[in-house]
Amino acid sequence: MPRKNNSTANLEPETTSIIKNAGIHISGQLFFVAAQFAASIIITRAIGPDLYGVYVLAITIVSLLGIISLAGMENTMVKFVAQFKGQQDMPRLKGTIFWGMGLVSVISILLGIGLYLMSGLLANKVFHEIRLQAVLRIVAIALPFSSITLVLVAVLQGAKRITHKVLIQYILVPAIRIICVALVIYLGYRLIGISWIYVLMAVIGSLLAGYYLIKSFRRILKGQPLLVEKKQILRFSTPLLFASVFNRIISSADMMLTGYFLPSAMVGIYGAANRIKPIISMPLTAVNITFAPIISDLSAKNKREQLEHQFKTTNRHVLTVSLPLFALLAIFSRQIMGVFGAKFVYGAEPMVFLCAAQLINAGSGSVGYMLMMTGRSMANLINSGFLCIVNIALNLYLIPKYGILGAAWANVIAISAIQALRLAEVWYFLKMHPYSWNSLKPILSSILAAALILSLYYMGLDKNNPLLLFAMIAVYVAAYLLLLRAFGLSQEDRMVLEKLKTKLCRS
């Protein structure tokens, strides 16, 4: 029997779980980002910034309604499924799952009908874009399916079935989507065809999520009595509903108000820039997927030292990955936006600011989940409500004066403010923060590696030569890794790298 590697044996179970599941999630997200990027390139090059702006605006509207239809159940499912499963309370676990599914189904169907009926008013009177009406009527059909998918996936996340979540959201649905998008464009359906693909993907996602839910909870769903803690669930989910709505407004107000003030072509260019920013937050998202139920579990068991240690560790690892991603996107912003088409290069500077906002988000760690999963959902509500007002005010002031660049500035200010508030509240309520002296190592390494690349970048080299660009990226990555090693890795970082190396060798 092979001996266990001692370098990884001393890792805490929570750290091992986060490494394992975050690795799975990042792998899935890499595929997801690549598929989304490829699909966006196909769409933008086929229909141009004008029609793409109409499509992006419609998706933004339906996404906002999707948050309302979730009624705060997405994070509620993660918390209570993790809690009841950890306590082996199967009747309450089953009741939580059925209650969340039923509530979201009813609300999303009603909102979908409302969007269909109001599509003409929104298109003609609010956004003054007649082509928007037909697209809104199509994507409204997707609303119930996409909402129930998010609830089912949250149940799988709470049960720590991360592989199923990744398979549904980040691999199967994006892979099918890119094939379907290419097909409808090849057949000449353009904007309407792309809109119907959005609906098809929502239906497929709900079917896949339902299949994996039944597969994972077959015994519980069939063989257990049902007990619903309605008051407890609603007490937790109601503030989350309003906080989620406020957060969605914060994240989408720039797009909505860009659609109100600016032509569709500008909305399309800004929408393409928005497609890039999830790359920066990808490591944080991957960690949060696994860390959220762990926060709930450790908090319920009053293991404060373990929780604080994991909070700092995960933030350091997120920074280590997010910082070089931001540096590369910022340095090569014009080349990246140019992939969507020549007209989209105008969005390079807004893209950098949007990515900077996500770097601030990633750099402050899992502060939102630390508040939610320790029962401080009301704090998130107060934060989000206040900043929602600030964000709308910033966009109303900056977009008419500075266009899509003003929208990007508003995004940076709003996210900086909300993350600063969350950091302060985590310290106030829990006496914890996500930083350690080791956090300086990736920051300094990223800055020095970026300085090296910028010195090469401005030496008169051909910036449009793909081979040269790939070479510069390779130089940056090599310099960054060498600097990290020169500054010194902690014992835990070495164990984490050994664990990842072992997993990669096995795969």
- What pLDDT, in 10s, does the model give residues 70-100? 887 777 787 777 777 777 777 777 777 888 8
Q: Which two tokens stand for residue 501?
A: 């190396």
- Does pLDDT of 494 surpass 80? no
- Tell me if the pTM is above 0.75: yes
| pLDDT per residue as tens digits for the range 153-176 | 888 877 777 777 788 888 999 999
- 276: part of which helix (H) or strand (E)? none
Q: Which two tokens stand for residue 333?
A: 């912003």
- 42: part of which helix (H) or strand (E)? helix 13-70
Nearest 5 degrees, angle CA 309-CA 315-CA 318?
A: 140
All residues at 6 or more sequence positions from 447 whose CB lies less than 8 Å from its CB, including other chains: none
- Does pLDDT of 17 surpass 70? no
SS (H, E, C) 51-73: HHHHHHHHHHHHHHHHHHHHCCH
Query: Which sign does the torsion angle of CA 445, 450, 456, 461 carry?
Result: positive
Phi and psi of 302, rounded to 5°? 60, 35
Phi and psi of 489, rounded to 5°? -100, 140
- Does pLDDT of 14 surpass 70? no
Spell 192-224 as b/e; 16+ CB within 10 A means b.
Answer: ebbbbbbbbbbebbbebbeebbeeebeeeeeeb
The number of C-alpha atoms within 13 Å of 462 and in the hemisphere containing its C-beta is: 6
* Residue 177 banded pLDDT, cuts 50, 70, 90: very high
Phi and psi of 77, rounded to 5°? -60, -45
Query: Which sign does the torsion angle of CA 218, 222, 225, 226 carry?
Result: positive
**Collapsed DSSP state (helix, strand, coil) of residue 339:** coil
Q: Which of 100, 32, 123, 113 is nearest to 65 (CA)?
A: 113
- Give the integer Cα–Cα distance in Å for 83 and 97: 13
Domain boundaries, the chain: 7-435, 436-499
Q: Given this model, what pLDDT does residue 203 score?
A: 95
Q: Given this model, what pLDDT does residue 269 score?
A: 93
In whole numbers, what is the pLDDT of the chain averaged over residues?
82
Q: Which residue has the higher pLDDT, 32 or 196?
A: 196
Full DSSP string of 105-173: HHHHHHHHHHHHHHHHHIIIIIS--TTHHHHHHHHGGGHHHHHHHHHHHHHHHHTT-HHHHHIIIIIIH
Question: What amino acid is encoded at 20 in this protein?
Answer: K
Question: What amino acid is encoded at 448 in this protein?
Answer: L
All residues at 6 or more sequence positions from 488 whose CB lies less than 8 Å from its CB, including other chains: 441
| pLDDT per residue as tens digits for the range 222-253 | 666 677 777 777 777 777 777 777 777 877 88
**CB–CB of 340/42 below 8 Å?**
no
- Give the integer Cα–Cα distance in Å for 440 and 320: 10
| pLDDT per residue as tens digits for the range 197-231 | 999 999 999 999 888 888 877 766 666 667 777 77
**CB–CB of 279/36 below 8 Å?**
no
| pLDDT per residue as tens digits for the range 342-377 | 889 999 999 999 999 999 988 887 787 788 777 776
Q: Which two tokens stand for residue 343?
A: 């007209």
Q: Which two tokens stand for residue 456?
A: 């090469």
